[in-house]
Amino acid sequence: MPPDIIATYNKDLRIELYGQKELLETFYFFTREGGLFRADEYLVTGGDYQYYLDVYSIGCTTPDFFLEFGADLLDSNASQQDIVNTLLDLQMEDELTTRRVGRVAYRDFNFNNDDGSLVTAKQIKSAVIDPDFRGAGLASNVYQMLVDKHDHLVCDSIQSISGGSLWASSILAIAEVRIYDTKKCRFIDVLGRLGMGVNGEIPWSCQTLTAGQIAEWGRSYNLDACHHIVNVISREGLYEDQN
Residue 14 confidence (pLDDT) above 80: no
Write the CB contacts of 17 (distance below 8 Å, at least 6 apart in sequence). Answer: 42, 44, 47, 52
pLDDT digits (tens, 9 = 90+) for 31-74: 999 999 999 999 998 877 899 999 999 999 999 999 999 999 99
- pLDDT score, position 160: 84
Domain ranges of the chain: 4-237
Residue 207 confidence (pLDDT) above 50: yes
- pLDDT score, position 156: 87
Residue 225 binned pLDDT confidence (cut-offs 50, 70, 90): confident
Average pLDDT of span 118-139? 90
Write the CB contacts of 77 (distance below 8 Å, at least 6 apart in sequence). Answer: 243
- pLDDT score, position 15: 62
Residue 11 confidence (pLDDT) above 60: no
- pLDDT score, position 128: 87
**Single-letter amino acid code for the residue at 112:** N
Residue 7 confidence (pLDDT) above 60: no
What number of residues does the chain have? 243
Residue 99 confidence (pLDDT) above 60: yes
Could you tell me if 140 and 148 are in contact, meaning their C-beta atoms sit under 8 angstroms apart?
A: no
pTM of the model: 0.88
Q: Which residues, in sequence order, are bridge partners of residue 154?
A: 123, 232
- Cα(63)–Cα(112) distance, integer angstroms: 48
- pLDDT score, position 144: 94
**What are phi and psi for residue 89, nearest 5 degrees?**
-65, -20
Average pLDDT of span 70-87? 96
Q: With pLDDT > 90 as the criterion, what percentage of the chain qualifies?
A: 64
- pLDDT score, position 2: 39
Least confident of 83-87, 189-193, 211-215: 211-215
Residue 100 confidence (pLDDT) above 60: yes
Could you tell me if 172 and 143 are in contact, meaning their C-beta atoms sit under 8 angstroms apart?
A: no
- pLDDT score, position 158: 80
* Closest of 153, 137, 171, 133 to residue 233, by C-alpha: 153
Pairing of strands 118-129, 152-154: parallel
Q: How far is CA 152 from the centre of its chain?
A: 12
User: Could you please report the per-residue DSSP string of 129-192?
Assistant: E-GGGTTSSHHHHHHHHHHHHHSEEE--SEEEHHHHHHHHTHHHHHB--EEEETTTTEEEEEB-
- Is the model more confident about 177 or about 128? 177
Residue 1 binned pLDDT confidence (cut-offs 50, 70, 90): very low
Pairing of strands 186-190, 229-234: unpaired
**Single-letter amino acid code for the residue at 115:** D
